[in-house]
Amino acid sequence: MVRRKYSEIALQDLKTNQSSCCGSGECSTEVYNIMSDDYTEMEGYDPGADLGLGCGLPTQFARIQKGDLVIDLGSGAGNDCFIARAEVGEKGKVIGIDFTPAMVEKARANAERVGFNNVEFRQGDIEKMPVTSEIADVVVSNCVLNLVPNKDGVFKEIFRVLKPGGHFSISDVVLVGELPESLRKEAELYAGCVSGAIQKEVYLELIQTNGFTGIQIQKEKPIHIPDDILKNYLTPRDLASFRAGNTGIFSITVYGEKPVRECSGGGCC
């Protein structure tokens, strides 16, 4: 279902996506994207690669250095990859991974159009990335892990592909409190990055249990879903209860590091 929806999105323009629920369909009359931040002032920004699908600016917080190899999970049309490319410079490299063929095709066309030869797009599943182990200095991702049922598997893969001492910066959607059942099970909102979200504390525990250190939330903002979206899934009474309750939907940008291995005799390998 996600592959089908994002194949449709790949054929839409930014304006169409901005009038939708995280790009998932024309579900709101409020013409703005309910999650994404503004990339337009960032170096490397390319309007043709911006589909308005993110929920943060992970590359802004990713501490990317010249010459780094960066992997972008769920790279879409290439927007975050092109921002990262401006950070790594000519001697660095950026690899975008997306499991939607239409997105990969669009991203490759965008890279060719702007003449980037150190940005590569690969089709694959981020639960089993088509890259070798310990290759990346930095991993970024923007509003993608909530689309993956096996989030634990993705963090294991991030740990695998990062070099010792490497790190990630990921923007994603998390919950505080339980969503109403009708929202949690709604497929359209799953493709729209809402009902696929998990509890914030569970999300952070997954990062810790997979061996990452230095974990910190770099940015957090609440996400307000317009009533004209929610009324498609909730009765007026349930909508009022939802608004009055303690459930919060948040975009977070979270950072974590892969520890440097220590030799058995002490010190660093």
For 97, 260, 263, the CA distances from 269, given in Å and listed in that order, are: 30, 8, 5
Output the pLDDT for position 9. 63
Closest CA to 43 of 87, 75, 2: 87
Helix (H, G, I), strand (E, B), or coil: what is residue 36?
A: coil
Output the pLDDT for position 139. 98
Mean pLDDT of 242-268: 82
CA angle 13, 253, 39 (to 5 degrees): 35
Q: Does some domain include residue 108? A: yes
Residue 65 near residue 39 (C-beta atoms within 8 A): no
Mean pLDDT, the chain, integer: 83
Output the pLDDT for position 26. 46
Q: Does some domain include residue 267? A: no
CATH number of the structural domain spanning residue 161: 3.40.50.150
Q: Does some domain include residue 264? A: no
Per-residue model confidence as pLDDT tens digits over 67-78: 999 999 999 889
Considering its fold, how many domains does the chain have in total?
1
Residue 21 near residue 194 (C-beta atoms within 8 A): yes
Structure tokens at 150: 């096996």
Q: Does some domain include residue 84? A: yes
Q: Does some domain include residue 265? A: no
Mean pLDDT of 105-130: 94
Q: Does some domain include residue 159? A: yes
Q: Does some domain include residue 263? A: no
Mean pLDDT of 135-145: 95
Instruction: Tell me the residue range of the domain where 113 lies.
Output: 2-257
Highest mean pLDDT among 4-13, 37-46, 190-199, 234-243: 234-243
What secondary structure letter does DSSP report for 117?
A: S
Output the pLDDT for position 267. 59
Output the pLDDT for position 5. 66
